[in-house]
Amino acid sequence: LGVNDANLGHPEATIEADFTELITNARTANPNLRIVVGTVMPTDGIVNQAGINEYNAWLLANAVSLGVVIVRTDLAIDPAVDLYDGVHPTTEGSEKIAKVFLPAGSLPLGKSVPVTVKVGGRRFKTRGWSFTSGAGVTLPEKIVKELGLKAGQVVDLELLD
């Protein structure tokens, strides 16, 4: 479910239904499974980028209801530099992708951990972050107010440590 599906012109509704079925089946097999999903990476224009953008927007909008953590791999690479054939990542591109996946897969769910993050262009160090499946990160109320965020608002967050 990614570049090939978008490039082959599979209808958006089919891709979304297939993804939802995949998550449902995984949860049925193991209700405690932590599912971390990467957005589809951009390409250098040789595939259906509009379809990829639509799919990524759907993933981001439905992460909470699906109970998955979304990793923004689409923001991790520069297609002009990090793809050797316009679709597949170079070694350096793969390393950039791994760096955004590793924190998401290793954070303890439902526990507060000390972290430094960059959100809204500002750095924050706190012990009050709660990482939960689906919701991603619950920000402390002080930071939510300071940044002028609204409940349920999706923001880009960069884990710095």
Residues of the chain above pLDDT 90, percent: 9
User: Which pLDDT score, from 0 to 100, does residue 17 have?
Assistant: 92
Give exposure, 146-161, as e/b (b: 16+ Cβ within 10 Å). eeeeeeeeeeebebee
Choose between 161 and 83: higher pLDDT.
Answer: 83
Q: Give the model's pLDDT for residue 86.
A: 86
Check: CB of residue 35 under 8 Å from CB of residue 71.
no
Q: Compute and round to an integer the Cα radius of gyration of the chain.
A: 17
Q: How many CB atoms lie within 10 A of CB 30?
A: 9
Nearest to 115 by CA among 99, 131, 101, 100: 131
Give me the pLDDT at residue 25, please: 93
Distance, CA of 101 to CA of 72 (rounded, Å): 9
pLDDT digits (tens, 9 = 90+) for 93-121: 888 887 777 666 555 444 444 556 666 66
The C-alpha angle 143, 149, 154, rounded to 5 degrees, equals 105
Is 87's pLDDT higher than 70? yes
d(CA 14, CA 32): 26
120-129 pLDDT, tens per residue?
Answer: 666 666 554 4
Q: How far apart are alpha carbons 34 and 23 in whole angstroms?
A: 10
pLDDT in the model for residue 153: 61
